[in-house]
Chains A and B, each alone.
Chain A
């Protein structure tokens, strides 16, 4: 009886007022709508011409030129070598980036004070804000044409990315195990190595493998600016309209990316289990 009376009284009471919506969210949504509308209005998007019969016919003729791919043994050997070069660029670039990223991550996680953290985070932002292609163009001047510049470009950009991800992973670890070891007399380095690094390591390995996958694709593209590997071959054959040869290079790129995706997936599962 009492419960029913309480329920009735509660039903009669007005609901509390809804929380006030922030005006900034409304402004943001309106601004986004305006931006999308302005984008459509400002770009000369010629959808009708794009899907016209003439456009479809000429695209079909262009794509038909890729078949059949070039399968002559000397060319396949040359493509295999370029594939190995692309793989090596991505692997070495990622390895250098891990070393650089780790060096940046320690101050970036605030282990040497707030000033060092802020300064290093700015450096990491700059490193990863500049795309690999731009780094490659810059480094070509110093390192010359070829895979060395491409490798350095991948390493510099990825060091910024991994440095930031490693720093966040380290900051997000539970601090108490390390404090516990410090309280029991461990110096700063052993306490970090025993208590904090093992917590972050699976995540760091996962990030590294993921970036390696990305770097395979990037390494294939970097060749376009003269940084060696499959990208350089692709640019060469496309510019001479040797479509069957370009098709072979594109197939090699697809196979390489698929292979590395598979290997990376298997490694991530094994290492982070």
Chain B
């Protein structure tokens, strides 16, 4: 579904952030990526989303391939169109637009894709905010706002969901509730989800956990609580 082939990224100063990452993400799986601060986790998500350009590979092969499409070959407009159709992005700080109602926020990806917006209300109901479509973000708690962000990221049925510390601003109970919701929703949609997190509790909710280090991506085993 998503292939990373010798993916590298250096800053303009020449300092390398990512060096030769290779990995294959499969459709329908929920993968957590952990690692120290500054190791390049968010940079990796930005590269996968086409928001930043990777370094060229030594053999000239495309370093990021999504459903057979080489991301680095796309210009800005084409990358935008691909993101719009195939990706959903969830951020730590929610980034729900304050001047739009909840339903308008969730409907944005549908409108951008030229799709009818009826599914927005269904998605709000699916994340436990049924009947709140006319409310504004300032009327919500942090956990509810992240639910809206999840609904917005999934409403257009993306093939790939990228989540950057989605529970970083939430208390443990709310974080667990939001992640359970995210896991259920992506299981229902069949989307591949890559979640960057510092939280072991969040990583326990994923199917697989990878550790990002200077040496690359390495799979690790996270002991899951018995209750799961």
Interface residues of A (CB under 8 A from B): 176-177, 179-187, 190, 194-195, 198
Give the contact stretch, choosing among B32-40, B76-84, B140-148, B200-208: B76-84
Q: Collect the chain B residues with CB atoms within 8 Å of residue A195's CB.
A: 97
Closest 4 CB pairs between A and B? Answer: A185-B84, A180-B95, A183-B89, A185-B83
Asked if A184 contacts B153 (CB within 8 A), the reply is: yes
Asked if A187 and B77 make an inter-chain contact with CB atoms under 8 angstroms apart, the answer reads yes
- Please list the residues of chain B having a beta carbon within 8 angstroms of any beta carbon in chain A: 49, 51, 77, 80-85, 87-89, 91, 93, 95, 97, 99-100, 108-109, 112-113, 152-153, 162
A202 shortest CB reach to chain B, Å: 10
How many angstroms between the C-alpha atoms of A180 and B83 in the bound complex? Answer: 12
Which residues of chain B have C-beta atoms less than 8 A from A190's C-beta?
112
- For A181, the chain B residues whose CB sits under 8 A away are 95, 97, 108
- Distance, CA A198 to CA B97, complexed state (A): 9
Question: Once the chains are docked, how many angstroms separate the CA of A247 from the CA of B97?
Answer: 54
Contact B97–A184 (Cβ < 8 Å): no
A260 CA / B196 CA spacing, docked (Å): 55
Known: A176-B93, A194-B108. A182 touches B51 (CB 8 A): yes
Query: In the bound complex, do residue A185 and residue B51 qualify as a contact, i.e. CB atoms below 8 Å apart?
Result: no
- CB-based contact B87/A184 at 8 Å: yes
| Total contacts A-B at CB 8 Å | 56
Please, which residues of chain A bring their CB within 8 A of the CB of B95? 176-177, 179-181
Note all chain B residues with C-beta closer than 8 A to A183: 49, 51, 83, 87, 89, 91, 162
Q: Give the CA-CA distance A181 to B80 in the complex, in Å.
A: 10
Of the A-B pairs whose beta carbons lie under 8 Å apart in the complex, a sample of 14, sorted by A's number, is: A177-B95, A179-B95, A180-B89, A181-B97, A183-B51, A183-B83, A183-B87, A184-B87, A184-B89, A185-B81, A185-B109, A187-B77, A194-B97, A198-B99
Contact B91 A186 (CB under 8 A): no
Extra A-B contacts (12), CB below 8 Å, given A177-B97, A185-B87, A186-B112: A176-B95, A177-B95, A181-B95, A183-B49, A183-B51, A183-B89, A183-B91, A184-B87, A185-B82, A185-B85, A194-B108, A198-B99
A194 to B152, alpha carbons, bound, how many Å? 15
Distance in angstroms from A68 CB to nearest chain B CB is 54
How far apart are B214's CB and chain A's nearest CB, in angstroms? 26
**Quick one: closest A residue to B51, CB to CB?**
A183
Chain A residue with Cβ nearest B83: A185
Task: Give the Cβ gap from B12 to chain A, nearest Cβ, in Å.
Answer: 14
> B91 contacts which chain A residues (CB < 8 A)?
176, 180, 183
Contact of A186 among B49, B51, B108, B153 (CB under 8 A): B108
- Inter-chain contacts of B108 with A (CB < 8 A): 181, 184, 186, 194
Task: Write out the residue numbers on chain A whose beta carbons fall within 8 Å of the beta carbon of B83.
Answer: 183-185
Q: What CA separation (Å) do A13 and B100 show in the bound complex?
A: 58
Q: Out of A179, A187, A198, which one reaches B80, CB within 8 Å?
A: A187
CB distance from A138 to the nearest CB of B (A): 42
With A176-B91, A180-B89, A181-B108 as known contacts, state yes or no: A186 contacts B80, CB within 8 Å: yes
**Residues in chain A near residue B100, CB distance under 8 A:** 194
- Residues on B with C-beta less than 8 A from A184 are 83-84, 87-89, 108-109, 112, 152-153
Q: Name the distance in Å between B168's Cβ and chain A's nearest Cβ.
A: 14
Q: Complex Cα distance A138/B134, Å? A: 54
Contact yes or no, B97 A185, CB < 8 A? no
Q: Which residues of A contact B80 (CB under 8 A)?
A: 182, 185-187
Instruction: Write the chain B residue with the least CB distance to A176.
Output: B95
Tell me the smallest distance from the CB of A270 to a CB of chain B, in Å. 16
A142 CA to B97 CA, complexed, in Å = 47
Chain A residues with Cβ below 8 Å from B88 are: 184
B89 CB contacts on chain A under 8 angstroms: 180, 183-184
The answer for the CA separation of A194 and B88 in the assembled complex, in Å, is: 18
In the assembled complex, the Cα of A195 lies from the Cα of B91 at a distance in Å of 15
* Distance in angstroms between the alpha carbons of A184 and B85 in the assembled complex: 9
Tell me the nearest residue of chain B to A184, going by C-beta: B89
In the complex the two chains form, what is the Cα distance from A181 to B109 in whole Å? 9
